[in-house]
């Protein structure tokens, strides 16, 4: 069995899988209500809440499954990228849990985990494929030459797509997190869309930019207002503009590299409008699309468990003793 923990941002999540990848337990506790009054994640509050919830969730995992620590072959956990306090909370907790029993720990790269969960755990990642992680903290496009190594092709030059959704929702007076709130309002509108700038065109054709769109959107609301009758149209127009820009950049990458597959994960990948547009794009290009299941698009311990299982099977990255296990909040840039 593999015990896994995810705590890189504001979701505390624990999972148990066996050596085939079969899921025995998975539970996530959201902190949305805690951070909603601030309109975004407060790092210190997030890390303190992780420390309080992790012992409860792990105890729940064993009590509900009837398993014990003696049956755990390894413990996997996210060590980066992410918020350093949340990462440290899980590292400290697992070190204490595993040390007495000599259970090896497997550090997991958060971005790789988002991409790995897009595929069946028994399927290998197709080499030379492209991987897109689109979330509140990342809008990154990778070329996968030799899994698990990732070559960065493009990234947002300013806001991530999920961050753009959050800021747009705040301007409309919608609750945090903004992505689901905007998607819900957008689903109520079937009429014409307002035209907003689709983002600048950086020098790198695979980079993304959402700050221009966000500024234009907020400026429009300040000038024209956003009473309740206008919100569905505004939400649909803003969502369409974000998705248009994502599809434009991804389309250029598919045309340039002709990859054997496209893997997609991250919280924004749960957006139904984005998923349908991406499916159409890949169908037009004749490229297989693998997207994380909607319940596993956000941060979760299942993706950590499956990535940790793959590393454990191969013997890569398994650590015991644990001296080198540390938070790597900016792993991609270390």
Average pLDDT, the chain: 93
Phi-psi region of 177 (alpha: psi -120 to 50; beta: other; left: phi over 0): beta
Give the separation between CA 152 and CA 324, rounded to whole angstroms: 25
Confidence of residue 225 (pLDDT cuts 50, 70, 90): confident
Asked if 178 and 169 count as a contact pair (C-beta separation under 8 A), the reply is yes
Asked if 92 and 75 count as a contact pair (C-beta separation under 8 A), the reply is no
Q: Does 77 score more than 80 pLDDT?
A: yes
Interval 41-58: pLDDT, tens: 999 999 999 999 999 999
Mean of pLDDT values over 304-314? 94
Mean of pLDDT values over 89-100? 94
Confidence of residue 59 (pLDDT cuts 50, 70, 90): very high
Cα 12 to Cα 36, 39, 243, 292: the distances in Å are: 16, 19, 28, 19
Give the separation between CA 165 and CA 162, rounded to whole angstroms: 5
Confidence of residue 334 (pLDDT cuts 50, 70, 90): very low
Mean of pLDDT values over 283-312? 96
Confidence of residue 316 (pLDDT cuts 50, 70, 90): confident
* Shared fold status for 2-116+300-333 and 129-296: yes
Domain boundary assignment for the chain? 2-116+300-333, 129-296
Interval 95-124: pLDDT, tens: 999 998 999 999 999 999 999 999 998 889
- The superfamily in CATH containing domain 2-116+300-333 is ATPase, nucleotide binding domain (3.30.420.40)
Please state, as a whole number, how many other Cβ atoms lie within 10 Å of the Cβ of residue 116: 27
Tokens of 275: 């998923």
pLDDT of residue 79: 95
Confidence of residue 329 (pLDDT cuts 50, 70, 90): confident
pLDDT more than 90, % of the chain: 82
pLDDT of residue 189: 96
pLDDT of residue 262: 98
Confidence of residue 204 (pLDDT cuts 50, 70, 90): confident
> Can you list the positions of beta strands (E) in the chain?
2-6, 11-17, 23-30, 74-80, 105-109, 129-134, 139-146, 149-155, 262-265, 289-291
Interval 240-293: pLDDT, tens: 999 999 999 999 999 999 999 999 999 999 999 999 999 999 999 999 999 999
Please state, as a whole number, how many other Cβ atoms lie within 10 Å of the Cβ of residue 68: 9
Asked if 171 and 226 count as a contact pair (C-beta separation under 8 A), the reply is yes
Mean of pLDDT values over 311-330? 86
Asked if 8 and 110 count as a contact pair (C-beta separation under 8 A), the reply is yes
Q: Which residue has the higher pLDDT, 226 or 181?
A: 181
pLDDT of residue 202: 65
Decide yes or no: CATH 3.30.420.40 for domain 129-296: yes
Q: Does 158 score more than 80 pLDDT?
A: yes
């Amino acid at each position: 069995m593999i015990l896994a923990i995810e705590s890189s941002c504001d979701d505390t999540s624990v999972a148990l899988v066996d050596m085939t990848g079969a899921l025995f337990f998975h539970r996530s506790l959201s902190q949305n209500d805690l951070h909603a009054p601030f309109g975004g994640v407060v790092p210190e509050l997030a890390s303190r809440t992780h420390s309080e919830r992790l012992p409860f969730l792990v105890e729940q995992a064993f009590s509900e499954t009837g398993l014990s620590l003696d049956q755990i072959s390894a413990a996997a956990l996210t060590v980066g990228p992410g918020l350093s306090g949340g990462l440290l909370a899980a590292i400290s907790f697992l070190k204490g849990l595993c040390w007495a029993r000599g259970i090896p720990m497997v550090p997991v790269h958060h971005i790789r985990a988002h991409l790995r969960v897009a595929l069946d755990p028994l399927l290998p990642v197709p080499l030379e494929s492209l991987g897109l992680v689109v979330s509140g903290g990342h809008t990154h496009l990778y070329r996968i030459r030799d899994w698990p190594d990732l070559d960065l092709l493009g990234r947002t030059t300013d806001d991530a797509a999920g961050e753009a959704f959050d800021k747009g929702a705040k301007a409309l007076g919608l609750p945090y997190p903004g992505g689901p709130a905007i998607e819900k309002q957008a689903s109520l509108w079937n009429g014409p869309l307002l035209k907003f700038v689709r983002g600048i065109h950086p020098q790198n054709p695979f980079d993304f930019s959402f700050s221009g769109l966000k500024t234009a959107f907020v400026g429009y609301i300040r000038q024209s207002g956003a009473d309740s009758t206008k919100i569905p149209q505004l939400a649909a127009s803003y969502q369409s503009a974000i998705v248009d820009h994502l599809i434009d950049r991804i389309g250029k990458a598919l045309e340039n590299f002709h990859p054997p597959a496209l893997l997609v994960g991250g919280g924004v990948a749960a957006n139904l409008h984005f998923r349908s547009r991406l499916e159409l794009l890949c169908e037009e290009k004749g490229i297989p699309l693998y997207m994380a299941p909607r319940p596993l698009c956000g941060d979760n311990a299942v993706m950590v468990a499956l990535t940790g299982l793959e590393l454990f099977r191969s013997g890569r990255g398994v650590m015991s003793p644990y001296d080198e296990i540390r938070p790597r909040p900016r792993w991609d840039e270390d």
